[in-house]
């Protein structure tokens, strides 16, 4: 089998790598591609190119309308190349093809959405309290943006950063994860084809200790947009101490899904499956804590067990497959460690908890359900596993359900299942999370902001206001009086 080769995209050209690393197909464990490992020098070249594009040249002179047209064209190209991008993402990360194809289709919508907003982000006229002055507020691009994304849903997580950043007039250096960067390096070809001026968008693959550290601490970087884990986020915050870059962090979660006895239980069970077993549980919004009313717990767990055991595990490139492998061996080892500790501490295994048979070489792990037996201190209840493991806790009353839902330092997403509208509103008001889904789960849209509370991060992505996070306001004062300037020693 031939080994595919990928290159970094710097200053409008595909650069030969001075160092490379192998990328593994998680479904087989075999090397399938060679990836570039960006060095600190590569980062410097990319950031300097982005800075030049920001300050001079075609991008700096481009109108907001023209920027928007480029973004719309990029969205169209993403959709036109969805099959290839989906195949690369599936090959490099193990995410099933039916999901990568569907997700990439709406990634195009994000670029089109922000393309449409590019010339609608307006400044303002201030009715100032001084008769001889007129003041306007101009939104201007914040500067060079360092965008850092993980391997999971990377095209989507890039779009929610690149879209508003480019619409605002910023330039970007995007760092792909070393775990599965192929689709983003291929996406660079579409950026080039769309016609973005050289240096406006730069895309690198590399490791955190070298590429990532230099990028987020670079003195020419004005803004860092990061998606990933809390430990890396803390390091990034430390990295920005010198350049004082404005930082947004979209981190992980331990999201609760609350199922009341009055819910449509079969519908709720499907949503729980979607929340924890779709994408093999490798999602920042994974609904990994099931809180179910005690009176229906046994019935609901029986439904879930049946659905989990019926999930079709297999080759992620097969459209019939419903759950593929984990992306990395270290992730599977972490999950196995936490599951073993949770069972040893009193958790009851409902189903799963093992590597499924028939997938030698692949990084597979069976859909797993653990009844925590009301022990909220179990490791599987507290830790983000980033895998297909669901922890189950029973509750007896609404107030208890709300307290359990908020019993976590995270606060990214949540779900509530009930047919009682008043109860749904009370829970939505009381849950400390950036997203509350009622009788649904894992729904997203470019029109809706997304982000977390607490250890799930800072800032929001998506929606109308995202462009504002990529701008600084400039106040322009114009004195309109013909009279001489008054007393110079008195502040006006």
Q: Which residues are catalytic?
A: 250
3-state helix, strand, coil in the chain (%, to 5): 40, 20, 40
Nearest Cα neighbor of 469 from 141, 1, 26 is: 141
Neighbour-count burial of 15, counting CB atoms closer than 10 A to its CB (0-12 exposed, 13-18 middle, 19+ buried): middle
Going by their DSSP bridges, the two strands 457-458 and 437-438 should be labelled as unpaired
Question: Distance (Å, rounded) from C-alpha 279 to C-alpha 285?
Answer: 11
HEC-encoded secondary structure of the chain? CCCEECCEEECCEEECCCCEEEEEECCCCEEEEEEECCCHHHHHHHHHHHHHHHHCCHHHHCCHHHHHHHHHHHHHHHHHCHHHHHHHHHHHHCCCHHHHHHHHHHHHHHHHHHHHHCCCCCCEEECCCCCCEEEEEEEEECCEEEEECCCCCHHHHHHHHHHHHHHCCCEEEEEECCCCCHHHHHHHHHHHHHCCCCCCEEEEECCHHHHHHHHHHCCCEEEEEEECCHHHHHHHHHHCCCCCCEEEEECCCCCEEEECCCCCHHHHHHHHHHHHCHHHHCCCCCCCEEEEEHHHHHHHHHHHHHHHHCCCECCCCCCCCCECCCCCHHHHHHHHHHHHHHHHCCCEEEECCCCCCCCCCCCCCCCEEEECCCCCCCHHHHCCCCCCEEEEEEECCHHHHHHHHCCCCCCCCCEEECCCHHHHHHHHHHCCCCCCEECCCCCCCCCCCECCCHHHEECCECCHHHHHHHEEEEEEEEECCCCCCCCCCCCC
Neighbours of 235 (CB within 10 A): 14
Residues 394 and 381: beta-carbon distance below 8 Å? no
What does the alpha-carbon distance between residue 43 and residue 205 come to, in Å, rounded to a whole number?
A: 10
Question: Would you say how long the chain is, in residues?
Answer: 492
What is the distance between the alpha carbons of residues 404 and 239, in angstroms, rounded to a whole number? 35
């Amino acid at each position: 089998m031939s080994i595919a080769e990928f290159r970094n995209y710097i200053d409008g050209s595909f650069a030969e790598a001075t160092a490379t690393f192998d990328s593994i197909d998680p479904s087989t464990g075999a090397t399938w591609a060679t990836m570039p490992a960006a060095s600190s020098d590569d980062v410097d070249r990319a950031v300097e190119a982005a800075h030049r594009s920001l300050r001079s040249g075609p991008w700096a002179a481009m109108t907001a309308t023209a920027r928007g047209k480029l973004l719309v064209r990029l969205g169209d190209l993403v959709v036109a190349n969805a099959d290839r991008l989906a195949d690369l993402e599936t090959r490099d990360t193990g995410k099933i093809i039916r999901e990568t194809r569907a997700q990439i289709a709406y990634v195009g919508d994000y670029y089109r959405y922000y393309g449409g907003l590019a010339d609608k982000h307006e400044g303002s006229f201030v009715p100032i309290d001084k008769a001889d002055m007129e003041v306007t507020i101009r939104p201007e691009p914040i500067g060079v943006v360092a965008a850092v994304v993980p391997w999971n849903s990377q095209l989507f997580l890039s779009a929610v950063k690149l879209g508003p950043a480019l619409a605002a007039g910023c330039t970007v250096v995007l760092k792909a994860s070393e775990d599965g960067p192929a689709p983003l390096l291929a996406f660079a070809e579409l950026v080039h084809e769309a016609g973005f001026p050289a240096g406006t968008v730069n895309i690198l693959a590399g490791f955190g200790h070298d590429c990532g550290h230099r990028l987020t601490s670079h003195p020419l970087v004005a803004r860092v947009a990061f998606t990933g884990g809390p430990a890396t986020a803390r390091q990034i915050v430390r990295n920005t101490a010198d350049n004082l870059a404005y930082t947004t962090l979209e981190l992980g979660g331990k999201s609760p899904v609350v199922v009341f006895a009055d819910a449509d239980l079969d519908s709720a069970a499907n949503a729980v499956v979607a929340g924890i077993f779709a994408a093999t549980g490798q999602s920042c919004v994974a609904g990994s804590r099931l809180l179910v009313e005690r009176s229906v717990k046994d019935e609901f767990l029986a439904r879930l067990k049946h659905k989990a055991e019926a999930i079709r595990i297999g080759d992620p490139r097969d459209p019939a497959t419903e759950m593929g492998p984990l992306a990395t061996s270290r992730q599977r080892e972490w999950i196995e460690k936490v599951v073993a500790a949770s069972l040893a501490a009193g958790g009851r295994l409902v189903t799963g908890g093992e590597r499924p048979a028939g997938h030698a070489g692949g990084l597979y792990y069976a859909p797993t359900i653990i009844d925590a037996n009301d022990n909220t201190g179990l490791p599987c209840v507290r830790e983000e596993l980033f895998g297909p493991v669901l922890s189950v806790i029973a509750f007896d009353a609404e107030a208890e359900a709300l307290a359990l839902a908020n019993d976590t330092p995270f606060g990214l997403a949540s779900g509530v299942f009930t047919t009682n509208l008043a109860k749904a509103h009370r829970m939505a008001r009381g849950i400390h999370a950036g997203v509350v889904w009622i009788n649904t789960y894992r729904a997203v849209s470019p029109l809706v902001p997304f982000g977390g509370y607490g250890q799930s991060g800072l800032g929001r992505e998506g929606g109308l206001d995202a462009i504002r996070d990529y701008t600084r306001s400039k106040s322009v004062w114009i004195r309109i009086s013909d009279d001489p300037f008054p007393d110079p020693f008195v502040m006006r």
